[in-house]
Amino acid sequence: MTIIFWFKRDLRVYDNRALYAASKLGEVLPIFIIDTDILDKFEAYDLRLGFIITALQKLSEEIPLKVYVGKTLEIFDYLIEKYKPKAIVTAEAFTWSGEERLKKVETLAINKKVRFVKIFDNFLADFRKIKNFWSFSSFYKKWKEKLDLEIIGKFNVKFLNPKEEPTWQEATKKLKYEINKFNAYDAEKFLKYDFSKYRKLRKFLNGSTRLSPYIRFGILSIRHIYNLGKISEKFVKELAWREYWYALKNLYPYMNNLELREDRRNIKWDNLCLDAFYNGETGYPIIDAAIRQLKSEKWIHNRLRMLLASFFTKDLGGDWRLGEKFFSKHLIDYDEVVNVGNWQWVASVGTDYAIRIFNPVKQSKELDPKCEYIKTYIPELKDVPCIYLHDPITYRIPGYFPPIVNYKETRQKVKTLFGLSYKEKT
Ligand SMILES: Cc1cc2nc3c(=O)[nH]c(=O)nc-3n(C[C@H](O)[C@H](O)[C@H](O)COP(=O)(O)OP(=O)(O)OC[C@H]3O[C@@H](n4cnc5c(N)ncnc54)[C@H](O)[C@@H]3O)c2cc1C
């Protein structure tokens, strides 16, 4: 009997719990759908699509993967009619759009009397069982008690390989995309990462693991990654942050649009000079360089994400929902839940009471003391003394955009935006 296995954010065979469950039910037809509705929404003819296609290519070297380009429901309709499967098996989805898509397919399957099986995978703990927490630290304690680290590893699957169904090459012929610099399946790279030095290395703009797109698309199993990195408690904590946002989303499913903190729901965001921000023309070289890196490479370091989100919400008074949307268009590791959670956190409307303001001048000096990063992404500034580049308010940078705001006025601005809920951090 045919079992359709639907790959989504778990583009791997090794330690794939949902695929393992499918293998126990019958002969497996493995499929992936490049959904044209999603492509249209995210302007995805870019590196992100290239990354996915590279991953599909690598996966196809291991199994007879069938790849479809089109609307998810139409493709399932076709497959169900043609193969009369005994079941459709897939990993459970937890993002807003993922849940919606899954629900539609599940309904279709039920209407057509096909069994629909969803398997929990791609998280280290079942975050749905973690309740009664608010701060990350209270979550983290409970999360550690719920860790489920059992690795299935390699297992046998009997795959079907109907020749008339499209391979990744056939399916993607009509798509324009760039194969990008991130080499999917480059597990070697991570084996070489020195996790014992993670706490120190992660502070450098090129020193963190860069695992995020591999985690986002499930190219490496999260348990496998945990095993590589468990020598560093700091690293494990970072993995827990991802699950913290999902646990919060599970309890407060409205958080994609509404502030978690009730007392900070009526902020009148100024939305000042947002176009200059989107174009990387703020006049603050560290901010502009980060925007250029984000747009060209689709990835930036966590410290830069925090700096950008702070500048956007605090210095420009930009609504965090707009900032979140901007990141969603560019990040190769874009994850709805993680992005929303982090934007709320930096905007000080999430679970954290403190109102943090990142000083862009101080951050520039700290993150890029010799201005190497700035000069890499804004080469036209290569001859400007570093001291100017850090502090464009004190020093006018010749021939460069004047600063769109004075960061020294931010504290006052934030007081006005946050009103009564603003308290100086001592
Ligand atoms: C405003 C903002 C938006 C963000 N949007 C995303 C997003 O859409 N997708 C995404 O994967 N990460 C997002 N992050 C989290 C974090 O910046 C990235 O996961 C990290 O920079 C990726 O680089 P890395 O793999 O080298 O990280 P490492 O420092 O090596 O961390 C290892 C892994 O831990 C997880 N992790 C680390 N920090 C966080 C965090 N703050 N929240 C959740 N998980 C974390 C990631 O899976 C990461 O790959 C965002 C952070 C901020 C401040």
Are the CB atoms for 32 and 90 separated by under 8 Å? no
CA pseudo-torsion sign 198, 200, 203, 206: negative
* Residue 192 confidence (pLDDT): 83
φ and ψ of 120, to 5 deg? -75, 125
Please give the angle made by the CA atoms of 201, 333 and 9, to the nearest 5 degrees.
120
Choosing from 195, 238, 301, 363 the residue with most ligand 1 atoms within 8 A of its CB, the one to mutate for a pocket test is 238
Are the CB atoms for 260 and 344 separated by under 8 Å? yes
Residue partners of 62: CB distance under 8 A and separation at least 6: 13
Find out whether the beta carbon of 305 lies less than 6 Å from any atom of ligand 1: yes
Classified as helix, coil or strand, 411 is helix
* Residue 420 confidence (pLDDT): 65
Are the CB atoms for 216 and 182 separated by under 8 Å? no
Query: Which residues, listed in sequence order, are joined to residue 288 by a DSSP beta bridge?
Result: none
| Chain center to CA of 420 | 33
* Nearest residue by C-alpha to atom 43 in ligand 1: 242
Alpha helices in 117-219 (DSSP H): 136-145, 168-172, 187-192, 198-201, 212-216
Find out whether the beta carbon of 216 lies less than 6 Å from any atom of ligand 1: yes
Q: In the block, which residue shows the tokens 């919060």? A: 248
Find out whether the beta carbon of 343 lies less than 6 Å from any atom of ligand 1: yes
Ligand 1 nearest atom to the CA of residue 331, by list position: 8
Find out whether the beta carbon of 417 lies less than 6 Å from any atom of ligand 1: no
* Nearest residue by C-alpha to atom 48 in ligand 1: 212
Strands (DSSP E) found in 85-224: 87-91, 115-119
Are the CB atoms for 320 and 344 separated by under 8 Å? yes
Q: What is the pLDDT along the chain (426 residues), one digit of tens a residue?
A: 899 999 999 999 999 999 999 999 999 999 999 998 888 776 546 788 888 988 999 999 999 999 999 999 999 999 999 999 999 999 999 999 999 999 999 999 999 999 999 999 999 999 999 999 999 999 999 999 999 999 998 999 999 999 999 999 999 887 877 666 566 666 667 778 999 999 999 999 999 999 999 999 999 999 999 999 999 999 999 999 999 999 999 999 999 999 999 999 999 999 999 999 999 999 999 999 999 999 998 999 999 999 999 999 999 999 999 999 999 999 999 999 999 999 999 999 999 888 989 999 999 999 999 999 999 999 999 999 999 999 999 999 999 999 999 999 998 989 999 986 666 554
* Residue 38 confidence (pLDDT): 84
Distance of alpha carbon 11 from alpha carbon 151, whole angstroms: 16
Between the CA of 309 and the centroid of ligand 1 the distance, in Å, is 13
Calculate Rg over the CA atoms of the chain: 23
Find out whether the beta carbon of 202 lies less than 6 Å from any atom of ligand 1: yes
Find out whether the beta carbon of 219 lies less than 6 Å from any atom of ligand 1: no
Find out whether the beta carbon of 238 lies less than 6 Å from any atom of ligand 1: yes
> Strand pairing of 87-91 and 2-7?
parallel
Within 13 A of 163's CA, how many CA atoms are on the CB side?
0
Classified as helix, coil or strand, 322 is helix
Find out whether the beta carbon of 339 lies less than 6 Å from any atom of ligand 1: yes
* Residue 339 confidence (pLDDT): 98
Closest CA to 385 of 399, 402, 368, 371: 371
Distance of alpha carbon 319 from alpha carbon 276, whole angstroms: 15
* Residue at 328: amino acid letter: S
Choosing from 224, 302, 321, 328 the residue with most ligand 1 atoms within 8 A of its CB, the one to mutate for a pocket test is 302
Choosing from 338, 339, 346 the residue with most ligand 1 atoms within 8 A of its CB, the one to mutate for a pocket test is 338
Find out whether the beta carbon of 364 lies less than 6 Å from any atom of ligand 1: no
Between the CA of 212 and the centroid of ligand 1 the distance, in Å, is 6
* Nearest residue by C-alpha to atom 36 in ligand 1: 238
Between the CA of 345 and the centroid of ligand 1 the distance, in Å, is 13
* Nearest residue by C-alpha to atom 30 in ligand 1: 209
Find out whether the beta carbon of 208 lies less than 6 Å from any atom of ligand 1: yes
Q: Kindly report the pTM of this predicted structure.
A: 0.96
CB atoms under 10 Å from CB of 163, counted, come to: 6
Are the CB atoms for 195 and 229 separated by under 8 Å? yes
Find out whether the beta carbon of 142 lies less than 6 Å from any atom of ligand 1: no
Helix (H) or strand (E) holding 401: none
- Spell out the domains of the chain, with CATH numbers in brackets: 2-121 (3.40.50.620), 123-151+187-251 (1.25.40.80), 262-421 (1.10.579.10)
CB atoms under 10 Å from CB of 61, counted, come to: 8
Quote the tokens at residue 138.
Answer: 């209270």
Between the CA of 64 and the centroid of ligand 1 the distance, in Å, is 32
Ligand 1 nearest atom to the CA of residue 343, by list position: 1
Residue partners of 78: CB distance under 8 A and separation at least 6: none
Find out whether the beta carbon of 124 lies less than 6 Å from any atom of ligand 1: no
Classified as helix, coil or strand, 78 is helix
